[in-house]
Amino acid sequence: MTDQIRITLDPELLAGKPVVRGTRLSVEFIIGLMADGWSEADILRNYPALEHEDISACLVNWYGR
């Protein structure tokens, strides 16, 4: 993963939930898609603004590593 900040917090965006930078897609939403059986390829195909590193950052953020 790069050093670029991928997950941001803004109290005025989605009630301050962590979101993928430059989007209104919350970490919780991305993790929910994966829990519903979406693959990384499915997510990237349906949300072309995302990159592999964004999904990795969501996982790290969600699991607190």
CATH code of 46's domain: 1.10.10.10
Q: What does the alpha-carbon distance between residue 9 and residue 4 come to, in Å, rounded to a whole number?
A: 15
Give the SS3 label for residue 37.
Answer: coil
Q: Report if residue 53 sits inside a domain.
A: yes
**30 lies in which domain range?**
21-63
Q: Report if residue 41 sits inside a domain.
A: yes
Residues contacting 3, CB < 8 A, separation 6+: none
Share of the chain above pLDDT 90, in %: 86
Q: Report if residue 14 sits inside a domain.
A: no
Judged against a pLDDT cut of 70, whether residue 3 lies above it is answered with: no
Judged against a pLDDT cut of 60, whether residue 34 lies above it is answered with: yes
Prediction pTM value: 0.88
Structural domain tally of the chain?
A: 1
What confidence score (pLDDT) does residue 2 get? 46
